[in-house]
Structure 1
């Protein structure tokens, strides 16, 4: 049964003209006569950035009208705009408890959870909003986005389908469906919402044909996610050719404009025998069209000589697959040029962004740094496979195997294992 307050028609029209959210609701508890103009003034203060003044006015009005649903809703949404999540939740929960048929209150509660990176709880609130307004598109769009960010891609697709059935334009639905594809396959900071930290450890063993001693490499990483990207600290150690070297790196991702992000990295070592003395990297990714991704990169490595590497890549998402081809170009001081090519194909076999199988192949004529030899021209080929699997949301692992052939060195094979922990 819809909640109704007794008031005159003029007051109803005045309140509806300054409704706090544009979406329709199944029932709208109206402000008592005499509050309408003051509520409009408080809202104007809030939308103009004077939110402390708006809160002060809402507080005063609530002392005069304790428990007023419209005032609590208005104050709760203003608190959410300010990022004061606990206080906002208290107000909005009070409204939904007292007026469970008030659709706008469920919408505001869902927004508060969504903005504070709690998509599962946002989905629960949006589901109530959609139940109250089953013939409108906005509740199902909001529900789909929350389910998507909570990792429920199937539920999100169903919600977007309901939005289309309720009148959402097909072009908008297609844009929402594209967002259900796994996140960009190149990002190392991919994790479901709710996780702020990602730790990993990797061990790699490389063996060679003939009598060359094997290599062993180790690395650990701790990454912190932020609203618009992430930053990791990495420690690396290499044991090769009877010697060893260590390095430390900062690796960051940042979201830019629509469908664009960048990876920036800086690594420094004590010497330049196994690792470059320093290495810097910048790569820009841009999504275009329906599932396409373009990229351009620049690497600078400081050995005894500087090495500059330029790269171009193109990727494509289709279904649960991601394919990418990348070309690299390395000019040298003697005028020679080195070009290489790599291709990967990933299958996100569980339909999420966590678990996948990757196949890769590469070939090219390139400048490779060989310890004790400097930069040497080599012809090389590479084939490899990786398996990434998260048995639970909080931890997972990666197994990798590669085989490579170099014209100036023995053929090699490598195996590695990584363990991931998220919280």
Structure 2
């Protein structure tokens, strides 16, 4: 190659590089802004977008990214101004129309948002984003059937649409279908691991965290076959959330009647969210002047989710009686199979008490709005849900239990159960319980 030809080729390559560089730079700028949005660093996204627009002020993609970043930081007027300008230039862009509808949702203009989502579907009938938006609106309005229909239509178009998966999961959660709900929510988290709403919903996809603030009045009666006076318990409890519902607490107080006398006691239960897929149960009860019930009791248990559908736990209880203290170790396993919750629980207590080993197997059926019915069978001492703490001192017996926990007229709580224990050569007893309450 002669020198003239070599210089000509070098010049051509330099010109091509110069011409290509602005496009490459713009593409990199768009990608930087997009990655900042995905990471949730909206302030950085705004700064990057503004910097990119100084060199290319007419770039529609970067302007749209800037509008999204403004909207995510609550600067809705600025976001809407950019969207209006973009829509005047691109009136048939479904992505712009859908985001306009989202902005109207955040402004609480649900009717306007619905009209805008439907306009997006007119422009692009196969818009999964628009269908997911209509699903959200239906859910917020309490129309869960329509929310499921729109969400599933969106998933037919895009099986990995995280928003539609999330909405199906939240609706199923409200319906009591914890098994399938956890599956949908887990998939949404896999697709968008940095989305805090998705992660929070999955962490709270257990029955207790679905509940709102509640107040309960409870009563319990236990009748014995040997003619002794009935045992009675009366209690008042309040359930509430702390730290944006990352912990549920139950403050309780009550009186127990035994052998012609009575004991007063107070307690606190806490259910904190722990690490990924785990939550705790802490129960502290005190009755300093007690003659019949334990003077103190502490229970600590950790529940861990496995494969989204299964749950195991390990716990320790220490109970103080007049004659000494008793330690108890507990393990359990359960599964979320749709609305069904089969579970097994085994506990072992100190060798110097009458009942060392207890096992029980149960089944719950969840319904909409956190209601459920349940039944269990076992041998040893009754479950803590139906029995009294001091029952560990009694001889082991077979027991069978059944109950319900229902919400009627939306927020009125009615809970009841019956428990029967019997053993050869030992006293039999039947316990009844009734709880009424209200949730806020």
Task: Give the drift of 1:202.
Answer: 0.5
Q: Does 1:167 align with 2:158?
A: yes
Report Cα offsets for 1:120-163 as digits up to 9, x if no partner. Answer: x9899589547626534455567667877987654454344223
Task: Give the drift of 1:263.
Answer: 1.5
Q: Give 2:210's aligned residue.
A: 190
Residue 178 to residue 70, structure 1, CA distance change in 2 (3 Å): closer
Q: Give 1:331's aligned residue.
A: 350
Equivalenced residue count is: 354
Q: Give 1:102's aligned residue.
A: 97
Residue 89 to residue 170, structure 1, CA distance change in 2 (3 Å): closer
Residue 47 to residue 379, structure 1, CA distance change in 2 (3 Å): farther
When normalised by structure 2's length, the TM-score is 0.64
Residue 415 to residue 374, structure 1, CA distance change in 2 (3 Å): closer
> Which runs of no fewer than 5 residues in structure 2 stay unpaired?
1-22, 51-62, 179-203
Q: Does 1:286 align with 2:296?
A: no
Q: Give 1:44's aligned residue.
A: 44
Report Cα offsets for 1:204-241 as digits up to 9, x if no partner. Answer: 11111132101110111112124213112111210111
- Greater share of residues in helix: 2
Q: Does 1:386 align with 2:406?
A: no
Q: Does 1:343 align with 2:338?
A: no
Q: Give the alignment's Cα RMSD to 1 decimal.
A: 4.8
Residue 358 to residue 270, structure 1, CA distance change in 2 (3 Å): same
Query: What secondary structure is seen at the aligned counterpart in 1 of 2:370?
Result: coil
Q: Does 1:158 align with 2:149?
A: yes
1:313 aligned residue (329, 332, 335): 332
> Which runs of no fewer than 5 residues in structure 1 stay unpaired?
1-8, 24-40, 49-53, 55-67, 80-87, 114-120
Residue 89 to residue 75, structure 1, CA distance change in 2 (3 Å): closer
When normalised by structure 1's length, the TM-score is 0.66
Partners of 2:106 and 2:269 in 1: CA distance: 32
Task: Give the drift of 1:408.
Answer: 6.9
Partners of 2:259 and 2:47 in 1: CA distance: 65
Partners of 1:301 and 1:122 in 2: CA distance: 54
Q: Give 2:376's aligned residue.
A: 360
Q: Is the 8 A contact 1:296 1:313 kept in 2?
A: yes
Q: Is the 8 A contact 1:95 1:105 kept in 2?
A: no
Q: Give 1:220's aligned residue.
A: 236
Q: Does 1:404 align with 2:421?
A: yes
Q: Give 1:35's aligned residue.
A: none
Q: Does 1:419 align with 2:436?
A: yes
Partners of 1:289 and 1:151 in 2: CA distance: 30
Q: Is the 8 A contact 1:208 1:413 kept in 2?
A: yes
Q: Is the 8 A contact 1:383 1:402 kept in 2?
A: yes
Q: Which moved more, 1:292-301 or 1:131-140?
A: 131-140
Partners of 1:231 and 1:112 in 2: CA distance: 33
Q: Is the 8 A contact 1:73 1:91 kept in 2?
A: no
Q: Is the 8 A contact 1:201 1:418 kept in 2?
A: yes
2:217 aligned residue (194, 201, 219): 201
Partners of 2:77 and 2:238 in 1: CA distance: 35
Query: What secondary structure is seen at the aligned counterpart in 1 of 2:152?
Result: helix
Query: What secondary structure is seen at the aligned counterpart in 2 of 1:410?
Result: coil
Residue 173 to residue 274, structure 1, CA distance change in 2 (3 Å): farther
Partners of 1:272 and 1:223 in 2: CA distance: 25
Query: What secondary structure is seen at the aligned counterpart in 2 of 1:102?
Result: helix
Q: Does 1:238 align with 2:256?
A: yes
Q: Give 1:268's aligned residue.
A: 286
Larger Rg: 2
Task: Give the drift of 1:331.
Answer: 2.8
Q: Is the 8 A contact 1:206 1:415 kept in 2?
A: yes
